[in-house]
Structure 1
Amino acid sequence: MTTLLAISAITAFALNVSAQNSNHASTKAAYEVIKYTNDLYEDMDLIGKMTNVMGAQIFEANPKTAPYRDVLSQALKEALLESWQDPEFQKERNAIMASVYAEIFSEKELKEISDFYKTETGQKYLKLKPLAKELTDERLQPITMKLLAPVINRNIAAKFAQLRHEGKIP
C-alpha cells in the first residue's frame, strides 16, 4: 500500500512537472505570437470604450462638468492612451495575454500562428489588418445604424423618460 501511494505521488509530481514545462513552452510560444499581434490600433477600441464608461461616471457624478464634456472626454482619452503605453502596464498585459493564449491554443498551434506571421502573407495580413478593419467598419456603419436605429431610439426614449421622472429634464 505504501509503495502504491509513493508511486502515485511520484506520478502526480511527474505529471505536474510535465504540465508546468508544457505550459512554460506554450507561454513562450504565446509571447512569440503577441510580438506580432500586439498593436495599439486594436487597443484603441477598448480605450474608447473605457473613455466612454469612465467619462459617463465622471459626468454623472458631477453634472456641473457638462459644459466641458468634450474637452474632458478628450483629456481622459489622452490620459488613458498614455497610461496604456506605460511599459510596466504593457509587461503585465502581455503576461496576461500570453497566459490566455497558452490556455486556449496548444504550443503547436501557437508556433503555427507565429510561423504564419513570419510568412509574406502573414506580414501582409498584419500590415493591412488596420485597413481591413477600417473598411469593414466603414461599410458596416450604414447597415448597423439601419438595424440599430429602432433600438437606439427606444433606449434614448427610455433614458429621457427616466430623466424626466427624476426631474432632471422638463
Structure 2
Amino acid sequence: MNTSTESRAVFTVGSLTIDVKGTLFGKYLGLTRYTTTASSVHFNPLGGYDFFFRDNDGLSSERTLSISLRDLEVPSPPRYSESVVTERGILIYDYAMESSSTIEVTKLDPEQSLYRYAFNDFKLSGKAVRTNDTRELTCNGFFLLQELTWPL
C-alpha cells in the first residue's frame, strides 16, 4: 500500500534595486544603492509568508527590507532595518516606515497560485526608533511567488 503525503511549498524569484538616502547625525546623505536577487521566505505562523530582501547578509552593514504576505493580493507595508556594531555586538537598527506608494500585484495564472509583485519607484520613508536618523528608500523591481504542494 502506497500512501503519499504532501507539504506546502513556495517558489520565489526576482530582483529589487533599492536606493537608500537619509540623515546621519543631521547630515543628509546618499547612503547606498544595492540590488538584491536573493530573498529568504518564511511561513508566517499566522498564515501567509514573510519575505526578507537583504544586502550584506550577516555583516555589520546589513540592510533588510521585509514584507509580509498574509493575504497574497494585499502585501503589508514593507519594513526596513540596518545592523549597527556596538561594543556589545551587532544590534538591529529599526525604522518606523511609511509608504507613499503601492506594490502592484498581478495574479498571472488564474488556475495556479502564481503572483507578480512589482515595485515601480516605490517610496518608503521613516525615522529610526532609537535616534533622529531618517531613511528614504526608492525600490524598483519585482518578485514572483508560486505556492506549490511538495511530496514528502
How would you bin the TM-score normalised by the shorter chain? under 0.3
- Taking structure 1 as the reference length, the TM-score comes to 0.22
> Which of the two has greater helix per residue?
1
- Taking structure 2 as the reference length, the TM-score comes to 0.24
> Which of the two has greater strand per residue?
2
Q: Which has the higher contact order (CA 8 A, sep 6+)?
A: 1
